[in-house]
Chains A and B, each alone.
Chain A
Amino acid sequence: MSELTYRIKHRTSYEYSGRIDLCHSLLHLRPCEKKGQNVVEHKIHISPSPGFQSVRKDYFGNTTQYFSIQQSHGRLEVTSFVTVTKQEVTPEIPDSRITLDNEAQLSEMANGFESGIPLLNFLEPSCACPNIEQLDTFLKPTIISKHEIIEIAHDLMSRIFTDFTYLPGATQVSTPLIDVLAKKHGVCQDFAHVMIAALRRIGIPARYVSGYLETVPPPGQEKLQGADATHAWVEAYTPKTGWVGFDPTNDQIPGHQHIKICHGRDYFDVQPLRGVFLGAGSQKLLVEVDVERV
């Protein structure tokens, strides 16, 4: 298997109508190191330059960076430059050897730890993934026909891909899960949240993954710079398999084209850029992502 190198440029800019006197931000932008993924280089450029910054690991083990901009400014730009190498893989679907009716094993899992963190974190409802009964209608066809956990997850992924319409702009980060379930459209974040909430409801630990996706241009066309966005997918856990990735937006098991940044209970744990601004006026957000294979 060969090794692939990706160069990623991820730029987020805020344009403010008024002056901002002070801004505090928390970044989740550094891709994680994991099997098959190696970070060669990572730089973050912030403009205007921060008066203070610090880097630490968050509760989930992700690298997070805090900074404050203490001078009056009308525009904020954060650019993350990443070089990662990925092992080229043909994704396989592992077998967990656990079925949904195996209560003993499920409850053992609920009390287990993974990387020092209680798995229960990924079983309890979270802000964007509430435990609502509307999930049952969606779950029903899958749990009738499938029994093994990874198989269930795989089926849910495929069904989100078939039943839901990818419709950028139709939802926002604040759109509640119940609306996404009812209208059956949204973007990758929404699909990930639906799948996570569904898995948790039947007792399978699931977490949200934020990352990048290499998009392959249609045949004969040149790949557009900045056409990509950040991506989101799901990981489900079983003791035998560990975390297994599922991308419901593309009905794919994430492979070398999926570059993972970090994971959390849902989007709000791993927002690429979260900020609190002190100042008057409205803001305009622009995000550009280039994923380039070199």
Chain B
Amino acid sequence: MSSHSLSPDSLTETSHYQTMDDRRDESIASDGSIRPEWSELFKSVERHGIEGVARWQETAARISRERGLAYRPATLDESASQGWSIDPIPWIVSAERWSVFESGITQRLRLSEALLADIYGEQKLFKNNLVPMSIVLKHRGFLRTLHNAPPGNGIVGLGLCAFDLARDSKGRTFIVNDRFDRPSGLGLALENRTIVNKVLPNLFRRCGVRRIGSFFADWFERLAQYSNNTDSDPLVVILDDSSQHEDSEISFLANYCGVTRVHPSDITVRDGRVWIKALRGLVPVDVIWKSTPGCGLDALESEIRPCFGIPGIFEAIREGNVAVASHPGSEVIQSAALYPFLPKLCREFLGEDLLLPPVQTWWCGEKAGLSHVTANIDKMVVKSAGNPHLFGTHYGRLLSDAEKTALIGQIRDNPGDFVGQEELEISSIPASRPHGLTPRSAVLRTFSFLGADGTASVMPGGLARVSRVDGMIITTRETGDSKDVWVRSKKEEAPYDISSVLSISGFRAPDIVSSRTGENLYWSGRYAERTSLAVRFASRLIDCRIRGISGVKGFEAEHEKILVDSLFKIFDCPILSPDMTPDARLMSIFKDPNCPAGITFGLERFNYATQSAREEWSPVSVQAISACYDQWIQSINQVDSFFELEPALDELQLNLSAFLGQNLDSMTRDSGWALLDAGRRIERGSNICGLLKTLVTSNLSGEMDTIFNESILYFLDSVRTYQSNFYEKPKTELTTLLLLGENDYPKSITHVLERLYGLLKKLPTPENRPHPRDRIPLISAKLIEFVVELYQWKKHDSFDSKVTAEFLDELIEFFNRLSDILTTSYFSHAEISE
């Protein structure tokens, strides 16, 4: 490569980029010449013009859309709502500059590791008065409970770390932020590289950009090394608690690297070790790369309440049965209040001078710091010293006088809780805008980790973030554009294929269907079925209200009351108040989200379960799911009278059928599908028996009995089948016979049981207990016996409703029990009581 032998004319100012007068620029020197590492880029811009740059932007946007990665700052840091977008113009760093960054990062990494080990171990920093104790003791990330578990002896110290670099007007480099607990952005950096490489392949080649693939391979190899399991290949997982309803950069990383991604609820601690709950049983986990906050990792030991972490996991860490990277207590060394002490700490712990200074910081817990910050509030960026989630970043110069006074008051009340930082004049880099290139302040997030032998690996590249509005300082919470970072190489590097390395390093990427997914599929099936019944129920009742019931005058009200009562009983609804009007009772079936027999109740749970298992559905199913829920909620919010809801009911029925039919068509017939369909069948079986029991114990006669039978048949969509089977008016004996004994009819218990047997066969045999399918033959045999009896009764025109009701109870109990067994065998993995 001869990137530095530029022709003289290329060193002149570029016509497409005007730097800011008062601000240092990374691409243009103060004399207006283009810095050598940027020359190829500007040549390319000159050649393609503004239209070319616009095309690059469009292409980048298109590719990122196609790849389906949603850019959300939530993945980059804690909060904020708008997304990040990608700017294809990279931040280019020369090899020389990079080596300065690299040595500074390496040193900070070693210092941070020493600091972490000391805080959880010897506490030299207190005993030698290196740091005021309250900075550590008051930080929410200082976990007293892990005091007996310092890094070392099988306990991981720092895992992946992020340092944010910024350069000021004088060209000095500062570390403005550090992240140890769960640094974000690695997935975005990888994604940016992939996209920019596609947008600017030739420029990428001409610039001799260093490859980042090997960094990922090294990091994953490092993760595997953390394992204390020497017997077999370690199982490494990424722990991610980002909402199940959205994609995250973690899922992107997991896919790229072929590593299992788990949610806290997929994990359980037993026998002092960590397991994934999977349909095939409990799978032991050796290494966890966590992207969840360490202070809330263990619900048993956390000081944060409420806490939804994994109870018992700290005990597993102490036992050395699982390696968690980073150390859950590493957030404490992120405290900006430590910055003023870093030069001293560096000399003490490493015997070296600090190479890359942190941004100048004053801790208000010291008198000098407090008076400096309050006196210079206009120039300060005020942050929390110990609880960044409670107090964001405040820029003194953006505050009104009243706000400033209030902030100073707040600082004076609890000075130790605050730091003030100098606001840097951060240097700019070219950012692409519709009208061409424009200078924007930028911060560079770097990624690094320490190897087993203490040597550092720094990713040659990173994630640059630029402010969207000119002059605004970039904070991690603010939205902006992200950019790829190109570190120029002195020699050509070959592209890196990560998959080859991952297979060498013995990474196990097991095919695990998590219990959580299985459980959500199961309940998707159950609630789809239940909602479907509730919809038919509501349709029938409205129909009776509108069109009346022929034959028996005045029976409408009683008919409705019996049916609503029985439905509420089947689903264990709270006892209805006797003063409730019939309209209110009926309305609760439509609207009440707390009525277990209601449509809204069923749909909300259906929606939750399906959303939680969203990776299982085809795009068409996803549409059907959102149509079910969204349209229904919209309808009930618009309509006051349930009579107007008839069309919404029909639509919902159709959408539910579309969802179920679509799955029939597109899902692989694996254990997940088996659970979805088993959920439907168990719900259906239990509902049929419940409805039949209402029927046989209703003690109605004559026309009323006929109408009641018709209603039950209608709920199960069985009117036509009844007619074609029996050619007579509906009566209880025959309805019972149809719904219990008809072999080839999907709405009969005989068929439900047969189907369940086939479905459960697809599930693995649980450990230490019988296979759930083995429960079916016995009840099936009883059913056959009972159906023979029914035929006898039919022949002799006698029907024993008491015996029938008893048998129905037995069936209901069977379905409930089967559901419990599936739960304990595949979802909760409870051990059997002694």
Q: Does B271 contact A (CB under 8 A)?
A: yes
Inter-chain contact B315/A66, CB cutoff 8 Å: yes
Q: Does B646 contact A (CB under 8 A)?
A: no
- Of the listed stretches A1-9, A67-75, A175-183, A197-205, chain B binds A67-75
- Of the listed stretches A18-26, A31-39, A144-152, chain B binds A18-26
Task: Tell me the complex Cα distance, A218–B311, Å.
Answer: 45
Task: Tell me the complex Cα distance, A127–B301, Å.
Answer: 14
Chain B residues lying within 8 Å of A239, measured Cβ to Cβ, are none
Chain A residues lying within 8 Å of B303, measured Cβ to Cβ, are 127, 268
In the complex, which residue of chain A has the Cβ closest to the Cβ of B136?
A118
Chain B residues lying within 8 Å of A268, measured Cβ to Cβ, are 303
Q: Does B833 contact A (CB under 8 A)?
A: yes
Contact bitstring B290-311, A, C-beta under 8 A = 1, else 0: 0000000001110100000001
Inter-chain contact A24/B137, CB cutoff 8 Å: no
Q: Does A124 contact B (CB under 8 A)?
A: yes
The answer to whether residues A22 and B145 also contact, given A66-B315, A276-B299, A276-B311 and a CB cut-off of 8 A, is no
Q: How far is the CB of A208 from chain B (nearest CB, A)?
A: 14
Contact of A118 among B133, B271, B311, B318 (CB under 8 A): B133
Task: Tell me the complex Cα distance, A72–B828, Å.
Answer: 10
Contact of B134 among A48, A52, A124 (CB under 8 A): A124
Q: How far is the CB of A103 from chain B (nearest CB, A)?
A: 13
Inter-chain contact A24/B133, CB cutoff 8 Å: no
Q: Does A58 contact B (CB under 8 A)?
A: yes
Inter-chain contact A51/B271, CB cutoff 8 Å: yes
Task: Tell me the complex Cα distance, A19–B823, Å.
Answer: 12
Q: Does A99 contact B (CB under 8 A)?
A: no
Q: Does A250 contact B (CB under 8 A)?
A: no
Q: Does A139 contact B (CB under 8 A)?
A: no
The answer to whether residues A68 and B269 also contact, given A26-B300, A59-B145, A120-B137 and a CB cut-off of 8 A, is yes
Q: How far is the CB of B558 from chain A (nearest CB, A)?
A: 36
Chain A residues lying within 8 Å of B138, measured Cβ to Cβ, are 124
Chain B residues lying within 8 Å of A240, measured Cβ to Cβ, are none
Q: Does A221 contact B (CB under 8 A)?
A: no
Inter-chain contact B271/A26, CB cutoff 8 Å: no
Q: How far is the CB of B142 from chain A (nearest CB, A)?
A: 10
Q: Does A137 contact B (CB under 8 A)?
A: no
Inter-chain contact B833/A48, CB cutoff 8 Å: yes
Task: Tell me the complex Cα distance, A276–B307, Å.
Answer: 10
Inter-chain contact A72/B311, CB cutoff 8 Å: no
Q: Does B270 contact A (CB under 8 A)?
A: yes
Task: Tell me the complex Cα distance, A58–B147, Å.
Answer: 8
Inter-chain contact B299/A71, CB cutoff 8 Å: no
Interface residues of B in 261-284 (CB under 8 A from A): 268-272
In the complex, which residue of chain A has the Cβ closest to the Cβ of B138?
A124
Q: How far is the CB of A51 from chain B (nearest CB, A)?
A: 6
Inter-chain contact B828/A21, CB cutoff 8 Å: yes
Contact of A68 among B137, B144, B270, B828 (CB under 8 A): B270
The answer to whether residues A111 and B133 also contact, given A57-B148, A70-B270, A70-B271 and a CB cut-off of 8 A, is yes
Q: Does A54 contact B (CB under 8 A)?
A: yes
Contact bitstring B306-325, A, C-beta under 8 A = 1, else 0: 00000110010011000000
Inter-chain contact B311/A24, CB cutoff 8 Å: yes
Interface residues of A in 217-260 (CB under 8 A from B): none
Q: How far is the CB of A237 from chain B (nearest CB, A)?
A: 15
Interface residues of A in 55-114 (CB under 8 A from B): 56-60, 66, 68, 70-73, 111, 113
Chain A residues lying within 8 Å of B126, measured Cβ to Cβ, are 113, 118
Interface residues of B in 92-147 (CB under 8 A from A): 126-127, 129, 133-134, 137-138, 144-145, 147
Inter-chain contact A51/B270, CB cutoff 8 Å: yes
Chain A residues lying within 8 Å of B318, measured Cβ to Cβ, are 54, 56
Q: Does B831 contact A (CB under 8 A)?
A: yes
Interface of B is mostly: loop
Chain A residues lying within 8 Å of B728, measured Cβ to Cβ, are none
Task: Tell me the complex Cα distance, A4–B829, Å.
Answer: 49
Interface residues of B in 227-277 (CB under 8 A from A): 268-272
The answer to whether residues A54 and B270 also contact, given A24-B300, A124-B134, A124-B138 and a CB cut-off of 8 A, is no
Contact bitstring A264-284, B, C-beta under 8 A = 1, else 0: 000010000011101000000
Inter-chain contact A72/B831, CB cutoff 8 Å: yes
Chain A residues lying within 8 Å of B824, measured Cβ to Cβ, are 21, 72
Inter-chain contact B133/A22, CB cutoff 8 Å: no
Task: Tell me the complex Cα distance, A51–B133, Å.
Answer: 39
Q: Does A142 contact B (CB under 8 A)?
A: no
Chain A residues lying within 8 Å of B272, measured Cβ to Cβ, are 52, 54, 68
Inter-chain contact A59/B301, CB cutoff 8 Å: no
Interface residues of A in 130-174 (CB under 8 A from B): none
Count residues of chain A with CB under 8 A from any CB of chain B: 34
Inter-chain contact B268/A22, CB cutoff 8 Å: yes
Q: Does A215 contact B (CB under 8 A)?
A: no
Inter-chain contact A52/B300, CB cutoff 8 Å: no
The answer to whether residues A54 and B312 also contact, given A111-B133, A118-B133, A120-B137 and a CB cut-off of 8 A, is no
Q: Does A12 contact B (CB under 8 A)?
A: no
In the complex, which residue of chain B has the Cβ closest to the Cβ of A276?
B311
Chain A residues lying within 8 Å of B271, measured Cβ to Cβ, are 51-52, 68, 70
Task: Tell me the complex Cα distance, A59–B301, Å.
Answer: 12
Contact of B270 among A22, A111, A121 (CB under 8 A): A22
Contact bitstring B804-834, A, C-beta under 8 A = 1, else 0: 0000000000000000000010001111111
The answer to whether residues A54 and B830 also contact, given A24-B269, A120-B133, A276-B299 and a CB cut-off of 8 A, is no
Chain A residues lying within 8 Å of B270, measured Cβ to Cβ, are 22, 51-52, 68, 70
The answer to whether residues A276 and B300 also contact, given A71-B833, A72-B832, A72-B833 and a CB cut-off of 8 A, is yes
Q: How far is the CB of B126 from chain A (nearest CB, A)?
A: 6
Contact of A21 among B300, B830, B834 (CB under 8 A): B830
The answer to whether residues A71 and B834 also contact, given A52-B272, A54-B272 and a CB cut-off of 8 A, is yes
Chain B residues lying within 8 Å of A52, measured Cβ to Cβ, are 270-272
Task: Tell me the complex Cα distance, A24–B833, Å.
Answer: 16
The answer to whether residues A54 and B315 also contact, given A71-B834, A268-B303, A276-B299 and a CB cut-off of 8 A, is yes
The answer to whether residues A118 and B832 also contact, given A51-B270, A66-B315 and a CB cut-off of 8 A, is no
Chain B residues lying within 8 Å of A60, measured Cβ to Cβ, are 144
Chain A residues lying within 8 Å of B833, measured Cβ to Cβ, are 48, 71-73
Inter-chain contact B315/A59, CB cutoff 8 Å: no
Contact of A70 among B145, B319, B831 (CB under 8 A): B831
Q: How far is the CB of B327 from chain A (nearest CB, A)?
A: 16
In the complex, which residue of chain A has the Cβ closest to the Cβ of B273?
A52
Chain A residues lying within 8 Å of B145, measured Cβ to Cβ, are 58-59
Chain A residues lying within 8 Å of B830, measured Cβ to Cβ, are 19, 21-22, 70-72
Chain A residues lying within 8 Å of B311, measured Cβ to Cβ, are 24, 276, 278
Chain A residues lying within 8 Å of B828, measured Cβ to Cβ, are 21-22, 278
Contact of A59 among B129, B133, B147 (CB under 8 A): B147
Chain B residues lying within 8 Å of A275, measured Cβ to Cβ, are 300
Contact bitstring B137-166, A, C-beta under 8 A = 1, else 0: 110000011011000000000000000000
In the complex, which residue of chain B has the Cβ closest to the Cβ of A123?
B134
Q: How far is the CB of A281 from chain B (nearest CB, A)?
A: 13
Inter-chain contact B137/A54, CB cutoff 8 Å: no
Q: How far is the CB of B366 from chain A (nearest CB, A)?
A: 13
Chain B residues lying within 8 Å of A57, measured Cβ to Cβ, are 148
What are 12 A-B pairs at a CB distance below 8 A?
A21-B829, A24-B315, A54-B272, A56-B318, A70-B830, A71-B834, A72-B831, A113-B127, A118-B133, A118-B137, A120-B133, A120-B134
What is the interface of chain B, defined by CB distance below 8 A to chain A? 126-127, 129, 133-134, 137-138, 144-145, 147-148, 268-272, 299-301, 303, 311-312, 315, 318-319, 824, 828-834
Q: Which 7 A-B pairs have the closest CB atoms?
A: A21-B830, A59-B144, A276-B311, A24-B311, A71-B831, A24-B312, A59-B147
What is the interface of chain A, defined by CB distance below 8 A to chain B? 19, 21-22, 24-26, 48-49, 51-52, 54, 56-60, 66, 68, 70-73, 111, 113, 118, 120-121, 124, 127, 268, 274-276, 278
**Knowing that A22-B268, A58-B144, A58-B147 are A-B contacts, what are 7 other residue pairs whose CB atoms are under 8 Å apart, sorted by A's residue number?**
A21-B830, A25-B300, A54-B318, A73-B833, A113-B126, A120-B137, A268-B303
